[in-house]
Amino acid sequence: MKTPLRVLSTLCLSAFLVACSSSPSNSLGELPPTKYNDVDQLLLQASQKNASQALGLYLAAADLAWQQNQALRARKILEGIDLSQATPAQQIFAKTLEAELALARQQAKRALKALEHPSFTHLTEMPLNQQVRSQLARAQAFEDTGKPLAAIRERIYIAAWLEEQQAFANQQSIWALLNDLPRAQTKDTGEAVLDGWLALLRISKAPGSLVQQQMNISQWTLQNPGHPAAQQLPDALIKLQQLEADNVNSIALLLPSKDPNQNVVSALRNGFFAAHYLAQANGEHTPTIHIYDSSTLPSMDAFYQQAIADGIELVVGPWEKNLVSQLAGRTQLPITTLALNYADNQQHSPKQLFQYGLAAEDEARVAADRAWADGMRRAAALVPKNAWGERVLDAFSTHWQSLGGELVATQHIDRPTELAGQIAELFQLRASEQRAKQLESTLGSKVAAQPARRQDIDFIFLAATPQQARQIKPTLTFQYAGDVPIYATSAVNSGSGEAYPELNGLQFSEMPWFIEVDDATRQHITYHWPQALGSMGRFYAMGVDAYQLANQLQQLSAIPNSSVVGLTGTLKLSPEQRIERTLYWAQFTNNNIEQLKEAQSD
């Protein structure tokens, strides 16, 4: 959601650009005047002029109101202007202002529509300040509609025209957008400047020690002296270069040998060691791994005493939720620990504890972000009737409402026999049927009418098993709601590769492991452990990423908003020192999984 600070930044940049305004060629007309500080005076002058003279003054008044933080007044003035007789320059100015006002109201698609006005075919003939202003608005609109690569291209294009603070802010925005790109979109494009940025991004996200990352960044800078990023590295990379490298030389892997879910534990362990041996084969610095059995520990205190005696510098584990909760309740730990699960609550944990797992809550937030970027505003939710479903629903609802969305209805699914009735209730079909019966009673004859579902639901957020999803999607069609989009978590994907035609078109979040099937690490693991091709692959991927995190916790802790690109998602550290994942967005298409690269357009 756009923050007040972000709106303020947009206003400041707009004011800067307006102050530098000049006129385009006479054939396109003149831009509105900008040397005013009184909206009322402008409106008075406009009322005393003929239509053609007044138009520019009204536009100037609307823009001045916007610069003075009077967005509502600016919009009302702009909406009252007839642009049919405006010159191309005035139309570009007006539509850019309309886009900025829409962005402030979180209406990014409306902003993009304004920036598609035919007058923008003349944008390159405008003064540079107007070109910059229009393209910055377009870049922000692309970003807000889930199109980071398009936003990056816009910002790269205008970068050479910016100076000092504006240039620095634009460069920081480029780097932030790059960090949000799915790994599939970080390959070379044939565009020299963009490819330079992408190469630098890949270096910064590559697995390996801090020393290796620092060396690679320095080498890139020497090899690309003319690139904007080489002349001024993004802040995050400057901080990375300034970190004092502290390689981890001895790691404890703390996992149980006897557990009801031992197949999951084995997958984690195998993924962890696969990443370790691949790093060795690539000549990277690799720590010594010591294995400890959490099933036989007398206590966590006894474990840490032994680990200290063994020279352990970092602990990876435990996996058991009760042990993680024990650690989270302490004031401090003797050794930095990356737990492979999350404590039940988010109480203030010791600074030495980091928590990482495959939390469905992350996927709920991804679904909310995607739906919002697609222009959805009113949601309904279908979640299981259990503790897991409640956690996922709470994460979705909290994040969705923080974006500005509304959750208008919820159903907790449990028994298959009750599903049709629950969906009918969700869409208020029973009320529609009752109205039809009342009308028949009044008329005394049969009425040919289909039940009408409620129209205030833009989409359904779904957290369900593959079996439940296979029932839900056809039932929605049967209940006159087959056209309502579904945004689901990865729980709907069994990972088995088995074809389910009923799920075609269903959208869901998914980790890179199931999307990037050509990844070298994934291929190595699935060759040695064929069972990783199925649903257990999620935990092999988690083991790989746990190894990478163990080597890069220092960077994630020291550099705010930094991230690691892994097989379970793009991994960031929250203020509570929980690893949060951003995933890909995909859909079932012709019995396959297809990655959706950008949010859907109108």
**Average of pLDDT values for 530-538?**
93
Question: What residues are paired with 460 via a beta bridge?
Answer: 380, 486
Structure confidence at residue 248 (pLDDT): 87
Rounded to whole angstroms, the Cα distance separating 495 from 458 reads 28
Structure confidence at residue 4 (pLDDT): 40
Q: At what angle do helices 537-558 and 210-223 cross, to 10 degrees?
A: 70
**Average of pLDDT values for 424-435?**
62
Rounded to whole angstroms, the Cα distance separating 231 from 341 reads 42
Note the pLDDT tens digit of each residue in 17-59.
544 444 555 678 888 877 788 999 999 998 988 888 899 999 9
> Where do we find the tokens 């030389």?
249
CB 46 within 8 Å of CB 57: yes
Q: How confident is the model at residue 159 (pLDDT cuts 50, 70, 90)?
A: very high
Task: Indicate if the pLDDT at residue 440 is higher than 50.
Answer: no
Higher local confidence (pLDDT), 387 or 439: 387
Residues in the chain: 602
Distances (CA, A) of 185 to 98, 147, 434, 598: 31, 11, 51, 10
Rounded to whole angstroms, the Cα distance separating 8 from 30 reads 27
pTM above 0.85, yes or no: no
**Average of pLDDT values for 469-488?**
83
Q: Which residues contact 494 (CB under 8 A, 6 or more apart)?
A: 466, 534, 535
Handedness of CA 293, 297, 300, 305 (dihedral sign): negative
Note the pLDDT tens digit of each residue in 70-119.
999 999 999 999 998 899 999 999 999 999 999 999 899 999 999 999 99
Q: How confident is the model at residue 404 (pLDDT cuts 50, 70, 90)?
A: very high
Structure confidence at residue 186 (pLDDT): 86
Q: How confident is the model at residue 3 (pLDDT cuts 50, 70, 90)?
A: very low
Task: Indicate if the pLDDT at residue 563 is higher than 60.
Answer: yes
Task: Indicate if the pLDDT at residue 601 is higher than 60.
Answer: no
Percent of the chain at pLDDT > 90 equals 59
| Structural domains in the chain, sorted by start | 4-144 (1.25.40.10), 250-358+519-560 (3.40.50.2300), 361-510+586-596 (3.40.50.2300)
Following CA atoms 368, 374, 380, 382 in sequence, which dihedral angle do they give, to the nearest 10 degrees?
A: -60
Percent of the chain at pLDDT > 70 equals 89
* H helix runs in 48-191, sequence order: 51-67, 71-79, 88-104, 108-114, 128-144, 148-158, 164-179
Q: Please confirm whether the linkage preceding 318 is cis (ω < 30° from 0).
A: yes
CB neighbours of residue 306 within 10 Å: 14
Share the mean pLDDT of the chain.
87
